[in-house]
Amino acid sequence: MSSAGLDSLDFSKLNGLVTVVVQDHDSGEVLMVAFANEEAVRRTLAERKAYFWSRSRRKLWRKGEESGNEMEVVKVLVDCDGDALLYLVRPKGPACHTGNRTCFFRELEPTDPSAPSGARRPT
């Protein structure tokens, strides 16, 4: 695998942020999606803990700073055009604020999931 520096990141497409995908290093499970500004990326690389930028709170946050569910960052990968990162992590607890191991705990269905099966086209 080749390497890239911070100067390869493109923060221009998302108003100073890059998209971050968080994947469990050991299980391969995708845990969450968040965003990072340059400081969040620098601190992640320096401390090997997952840092993000919270768009709702408009502040830097370290995953687990409140919940205790920190993420040790084993490796950070960058995509071809420099606007997305992949944090490969070892989580200390659930990634999701709901208590689920991953934020992706629901399957998207094309129809209303509350509708009884076969009831879409009543005769």
Which residues of this chain interact with a second copy, rule CB under 8 A? 1-9, 13, 19, 21, 23, 28-30, 32-33, 41-42, 45-46, 55, 75-81, 84-86, 96-98, 100, 103-114
* Cβ-based nearer residue to a second copy, 5 or 68: 5
* Cβ-based nearer residue to a second copy, 66 or 112: 112
The minimum distance between CB 41 and a second copy, in angstroms, equals: 8
Angle at 65 between CA 63 and CA 66, to 5 degrees: 110
Q: Say which residue the tokens 């009543």 belong to.
A: 122
The minimum distance between CB 26 and a second copy, in angstroms, equals: 11
The minimum distance between CB 82 and a second copy, in angstroms, equals: 9
* Cβ-based nearer residue to a second copy, 60 or 96: 96
* Cβ-based nearer residue to a second copy, 67 or 100: 100
Query: Within 13 Å of residue 82, how many CA atoms lie on the same side as its CB?
Result: 13
80: Cβ contacts below 8 Å, ≥ 6 apart: none
The minimum distance between CB 101 and a second copy, in angstroms, equals: 12
| Residue 26 to residues 10, 36, 62, 83, Cα–Cα distance (Å) | 28, 23, 21, 24
Residue 85 φ then ψ, to 5°: -120, 155
